[in-house]
Amino acid sequence: MNTSPTSSLICAPITEARADLFLAASEEASRISDAVELRLDYLPDESLPQSLAELRSRVVQINKPLILTFRPREQGGKRNLTLQDRRDFWRGLAPEITNAIAFADFELDLVESFAGEQPPVPWDKVICSWHNFAETPHDLIARYERMAATSAAVVKIATQANRIGDCLRVFELIEHAQGKKPVIALAMGLPGLMTRALALSRGAMLTFGSLRRGAESAAGQPTVAELRDLYRVKELSRESMILGIIGDPVGHSRSPLMHNAALKTLNRDGVYLPFEVDDIDSFARDFVHPKTKKLGWNLRGLSVTIPHKLAIIPHLDHVDATARAIGAVNTVVIEGDELRGYNTDVIGAMKPLDELIDVKNARVAVIGAGGSARAICYGLNERGAEVTIYARDVQKAQPLADEFKARTSPLESFNGEADVVINCTPIGMRGHSEGQSPIKAESLKNVKLVYDLIYTPEETALLRDAKQACCQTLGGLAMLVGQAAEQFGLWTGLEAPVDVMWRAASLQARTSPPTQTPAAD
């Protein structure tokens, strides 16, 4: 029997286009989610009658609240349907189905077309929905009021987030609806992810999660497993600690896996989210700084990645000495009314190296002269190493060398004259030049230790060559986890569970990043 829905539900939409898979997926979804949305519009004409017949006989076996949706293409569905087609469809639905479902999703125009009539599904089972795929307009509250004034029981508004600032309006809407008609509100697209992850904690009735990657019914939709196990959305409240990473893009980041695993292991009431931020100034003002933020949330800290490591600095009240010297902030801590900036890349990169070798007076070859080389050169200079920067463009590398008392040399000139080699280029990285090494294998004969900052793959061609030449090796996961563990300590005051974070990062390093799909909830 389909139990009556309450609130705080993770709902899995079924987007199978094959009749034989549709109900099987529904049953699978009912095992892992709190509610199941049957997207009947995904079924082609030839499959729909068979699916409805099967649904009629098996609907009672799906023991989770069921939502039925039959969406026209222009409103984000998969079918060309006129208003009359939709009216006929709902009027023709078998009573076994309408009795068993918890809700039917009627688009606003359909709801309005049934005004003054006996609807085909009782009004207390009707979700009145409205979608906007172009933007998140400014009049969401007026739109909600119009929809709430209909006889439908629940209002659903889903809009496209073109930038993260659009999420503010969705949260305002959820706030506005408290104590009124239940609301489902979310922003589609990756910039809208925070609305999907935080909606339940702020009083929305439901959030959508796909059954698996590739089965999303809308862009930016996480999986049920991510919502439940990674972001733990059902355990969050308005008071929960919020952490996250700001960058553009951020979809590839391993940080949510590491930090959420740490929060879960230490049983902390909090979540770490990816924030796709294009405009750092408005994000810092509207979401972050305690004196100006427009969103009432318990944001406590941020990781900062490309392209905002420099641009965040004017928004900070304090910047620590290392971050100042490197000219880049990768960590923000929100303390009272102030923002403090740190750089944990140096300690994250150097700690694992310090555990293997004392670099004082050691000859260190740094390959590359970009952002990570800067953190490495700072750490090496602090420790008194003799550093040579090998770069394809020596002139470009010279300011870095001057700043940290290093020499420069063309990359192709490297001949093995070093105790330690550190690769700070992307050469060898998956999706860039996997299988290649920035230096020749023969040049590693007399090198003691090779450190490759790349972490995908975990073992690069350079590290393989180094092992064959009997060098000690260190991979980039050590730095990735090391800098994250330092951040976690700064935000929480707790010792980070490094092993747990390592496993989480390592697992992600072997899987692919999330995808965007151009559809709608």
Give the footprint of ligand NAP on this chain (CB under 6 A). Answer: 368-373, 391-393, 396, 411, 424-427, 429, 453-455, 476, 479-480, 483
The enclosing H or E element of 498 equals helix 498-509
Residue placing its CB nearer to ligand NAP in the complex, 177 or 367: 367
Helix axes 166-177, 140-148, angle to 10 degrees: 30
Q: What secondary structure does DSSP assign to 432-451, as a single string?
A: TTTT--SS-GGGGTT-SEEE
What minimum distance in Å lies between the beta carbon of 485 and ligand NAP?
12
| Residue 116 tokens, joined | 């003054």
Residue 351 neighbours by CB under 8 Å, 6+ apart: 482
Residues involved in catalysis: 131, 156, 309, 345
Least Å distance between CB 437 and ligand NAP? Answer: 11
Separation CA 518–CA 333 (nearest Å): 35
What is the Cα–Cα distance from 298 to 397, expressed in whole angstroms? 42
Distance separating alpha carbons of residues 195 and 453, to the nearest angstrom: 34
The count of C-alpha atoms lying within 13 angstroms of the C-alpha of 181, restricted to the half-sphere facing its C-beta, is: 25
Question: What is the DSSP code (8-state) at residue 291?
Answer: T
CB of 451 to ligand NAP, least distance (A): 10
Residue nearer to ligand NAP on the CB measure, 137 or 426: 426
Strand-pair partners of 472: 449
Between 69 and 372, CB nearer to ligand NAP: 372
Query: Measured from the CB of residue 348, what is the shortest distance to ligand NAP in angstroms?
Result: 7
Q: Whole-number minimum distance, CB 190 to ligand NAP, in Å?
A: 22
Nearer to ligand NAP, 121 or 496 (CB): 496
Q: Which two tokens stand for residue 121?
A: 């599904």
3 state DSSP class of 204: coil
Residue 283 Cβ, how far from ligand NAP at the closest point, in Å? 22
Q: How far apart are CA 106 and CA 95, in angstroms?
A: 17
Q: Residue of minimal CB distance from ligand NAP?
A: 370
Torsional sign, CA 207, 43, 81, 117? negative
Residue 56 corresponds to which tokens in the numbers above? 């009629």
Q: How many CB atoms lie within 10 A of CB 296?
A: 10
Cα(94)–Cα(116) distance, integer angstroms: 22
In the complex, least distance from residue 365 CB atom to ligand NAP, rounded to whole angstroms: 13
Amino acid at 289: H
CB of 255 to ligand NAP, least distance (A): 10
Closer by beta carbon to ligand NAP, 416 or else 426: 426
- Choice between 160 and 423, CB closer to ligand NAP: 423
> Can you give the length of the chain in residues?
521
Burial 488-510 (b: 16+ CB within 10 A, else e): bebbbeeebbeebbbebbbebbe
Which two structure tokens, joined as six digits, stand for 73? 């293409």
What 3-state DSSP class applies to 252? Answer: coil
For ligand NAP, give the closer residue by CB, 55 or 480.
480
Q: How far is the CB of 476 from ligand NAP (least distance, A)?
A: 3
Least distance from ligand NAP to the Cβ atom of residue 390, Å: 9
Q: Cβ(453)–Cβ(476) under 8 Å?
A: yes
Q: Which is nearer to ligand NAP, 253 or 282 (CB)?
A: 253
E strand residue ranges, 139-249: 154-160, 183-188, 206-208, 241-247
Phi, psi of 399 (to 5 degrees): -55, -40
The full 3-state SS of 196-243, as one line of letters, equals HHHCHHHCCCEEECECCCCCCCCCCCCEHHHHHHHCCHHHCCCCCEEE
Number of other CB atoms surrounding residue 24 within 10 Å = 12
Helix, strand, coil percent content, the chain, rounded in steps of 5: 40, 20, 40
Closer Cβ to ligand NAP, 11 or 365, answer by number: 365
Query: Between 15 and 483, whose beta carbon lies closer to ligand NAP?
Result: 483
The two tokens of residue 23 are: 């109900």
